[in-house]
Amino acid sequence: MGQSRYTRPHAQPGDPLDLDKLRTVALSDACEDYQGLYELVWYLNGREPSTPRADKVAAASAVLQDLLRTGHISLYTSVWAEGEFQPVPPEKQLAIAADPASYADPPQPPAKYVSYASTPEGEQVYRSLPESAFEGLW
């Protein structure tokens, strides 16, 4: 899916983000709990501080769209701290994942934001990943 940047500690600005590794991070997080779309961007903020935000959003969007297409995640609208997770209609999920506004930092409650979680198929794929898939992720 992408170029390896995490295995090259001396990557230069403008080098491509590793979408394969980011996909593993997203799937791992999705198996643990509901995750805001913004959280994938925050992960990249910690790993790739010099990469422009627009590039991080584009990478997160590409990964989440791929996981949606393969049926490994689903999207939900959420209200933080209220435990409210409403499924987004399937026909709207790809458009939401493609919209950069969906990756904005979370609003103050009671405003809603978009989150994602794994499907049973996604959990099965995650559990089948080799240990090497997790090297250098955290």
Residue 59 covered by a domain: yes
Residue 46 covered by a domain: yes
Q: What is the pLDDT of residue 111?
A: 85
Strand order, beta sheet including 84-87: 35-36, 113-118, 73-79, 84-87
How far, in Å, CA of 123 to CA of 28, rounded?
Answer: 8
Of 121 and 132, the structure prediction assigns the larger pLDDT to 121
Residue 51 covered by a domain: yes
Residue 10 covered by a domain: no
Query: What is the number of structural domains in the chain?
Result: 1
Q: What is the pLDDT of residue 14?
A: 52
How far, in Å, CA of 95 to CA of 98, rounded?
Answer: 5
Q: pTM of the entire structure?
A: 0.85
pLDDT at residue 135 tops 50:
yes
Q: Encode pLDDT of 64-110 as tens digits.
A: 999 999 999 999 998 877 778 999 999 999 999 999 999 999 888 77
Q: Which range, 64-68, 112-116, 125-129, 131-135, is most confident?
A: 64-68
Bin 117: left if φ > 0, else alpha if -120 < ψ < 50, else beta.
beta
Residue 4 covered by a domain: no
Residue 2 covered by a domain: no
Q: Encode pLDDT of 17-60 as tens digits.
A: 889 999 999 999 999 999 999 999 999 999 899 899 999 999 99
Rounded (10°) angle between helices 19-32 and 53-69: 70
Residue 117 covered by a domain: yes
- Residue 65, domain extent: 19-134
CATH number of the domain within which 75 lies: 1.10.10
Q: What is the pLDDT of residue 1?
A: 45
Residue 1 covered by a domain: no
What would the mean pLDDT of 107-134 be, rounded to a whole number?
91
